[in-house]
Amino acid sequence: MDAFRHIPSVEHLLTHARTGELIASFGREWTANAIREVLAEYRQELRAGMPLTTDDEILITRTAARLNSQAALFPVHVINATGVVLHTNLGRAPLSAQAMLAVASASGGYSNLEYELSSGKRGSRNTQAENLLIRLTGAEAALVVNNNSGAVLLALTALARRKKVAVARSQLVEIGGGFRVPDVLRESGARLLEIGTTNRVHLRDYQLALEQGAQVLLLTHHSNFKIIGFTTEPTLQELAGLAASAGVPVIFDQGSGALLDTARWGLPHEITVQEALQAGADLVCFSGDKLLGGPQAGIIAGKKALVDKLRRHALYRALRPDKLCLAALTATLLHYLKGEAETLLPVYQMLSRPEAALRDQALSWQQQLGFGSLISGRSTIGGGSLPEETLPTWLLALEVRGPQKLLARLRASKPAIIARVENNQVVFDPRTVLPDEDQYLLAGIRTALRQIKEQ
Ligand SMILES: *Cc1c(COP(=O)(O)O)cnc(C)c1O
Per-residue pLDDT tens for 75-100? 999 999 999 999 999 999 999 999 99
Q: What is the DSSP letter of 84?
A: B
Instruction: Give the helix/strand (H/E) hosting 65.
Output: helix 56-70
Per-residue pLDDT tens for 348-370? 999 999 999 999 999 999 999 99
Question: In whole angstroms, what separates CA 209 from the centre of its chain?
Answer: 35
Tell me the average pLDDT across 208-221.
Answer: 96
286 CA → ligand 1 middle, Å: 7
The whole-number pLDDT of residue 113 equals 98
Any atom of ligand 1 within 6 Å of the Cβ of 393: no
Any atom of ligand 1 within 6 Å of the Cβ of 287: yes
Backbone torsions φ then ψ of 61, nearest 5 degrees = -60, -40
214 CA → ligand 1 middle, Å: 24
What distance in Å separates the CA atoms of residue 52 and residue 305, rounded to the nearest whole number?
Answer: 71
* Residue 293 pLDDT greater than 60, yes or no: yes
Any atom of ligand 1 within 6 Å of the Cβ of 384: yes
* Residue 146 pLDDT greater than 60, yes or no: yes
Query: Which of 90, 144, 167, 175 has the most ligand 1 atoms within 8 A of CB, as the residue to mutate?
Result: 175
Query: Which of 145, 171, 179, 329 has the most ligand 1 atoms within 8 A of CB, as the residue to mutate?
Result: 179
- Neighbouring C-beta atoms of residue 453, cutoff 10 Å: 9
Any atom of ligand 1 within 6 Å of the Cβ of 255: yes
119 CA → ligand 1 middle, Å: 38
Residue nearest to atom 13 of ligand 1 (CA): 255
What is the chain's mean pLDDT, rounded? 95
* Residue 455 pLDDT greater than 80, yes or no: no
- The radius of gyration of the chain's CA atoms, rounded to the nearest angstrom, is 27
183 CA → ligand 1 middle, Å: 14
β strands within 329-431, DSSP E = 373-380, 390-398, 416-418, 420-422, 425-428
* Residue 1 pLDDT greater than 60, yes or no: no
Count of H-run helices and E-run strands, the chain = 20, 17
Sheet bearing 390-398, strands edge to edge:
373-380, 390-398, 425-428, 420-422
424: left (phi over 0), alpha (psi -120 to 50) or beta: left
Any atom of ligand 1 within 6 Å of the Cβ of 251: no
Per-residue pLDDT tens for 203-212? 999 999 999 9
β strands within 25-112, DSSP E = 78-80
Asked whether the beta carbons of 438 and 365 are under 8 A apart, the reply is yes
* Residue 228 pLDDT greater than 80, yes or no: yes
Closest CA to 207 of 238, 252, 177, 171: 238
Any atom of ligand 1 within 6 Å of the Cβ of 175: yes
Closest CA to 14 of 45, 40, 44, 36: 36
Confidence tier at 384 by pLDDT (50, 70, 90): low
Any atom of ligand 1 within 6 Å of the Cβ of 220: yes
Confidence tier at 25 by pLDDT (50, 70, 90): very high
Any atom of ligand 1 within 6 Å of the Cβ of 311: no
Per-residue pLDDT tens for 31-57? 999 999 999 999 999 899 887 777 899
What distance in Å separates the CA atoms of residue 124 and residue 135, rounded to the nearest whole number?
Answer: 18
The whole-number pLDDT of residue 217 equals 98
Query: Which of 86, 171, 285, 287 has the most ligand 1 atoms within 8 A of CB, as the residue to mutate?
Result: 287
271 CA → ligand 1 middle, Å: 15
Any atom of ligand 1 within 6 Å of the Cβ of 214: no
Any atom of ligand 1 within 6 Å of the Cβ of 298: yes
Tell me the average pLDDT across 97-104.
Answer: 98
DSSP H helical ranges for 121-263: 127-137, 148-160, 181-188, 203-211, 236-246
Query: Which of 87, 88, 149 has the most ligand 1 atoms within 8 A of CB, as the residue to mutate?
Result: 149
Per-residue pLDDT tens for 419-450? 999 999 999 999 999 989 999 999 999 999 99
* Residue 72 pLDDT greater than 70, yes or no: yes
Residue 95: partners with Cβ closer than 8 Å, 6 or more residues away: 103, 294, 295, 328, 331, 332, 346
192 CA → ligand 1 middle, Å: 19
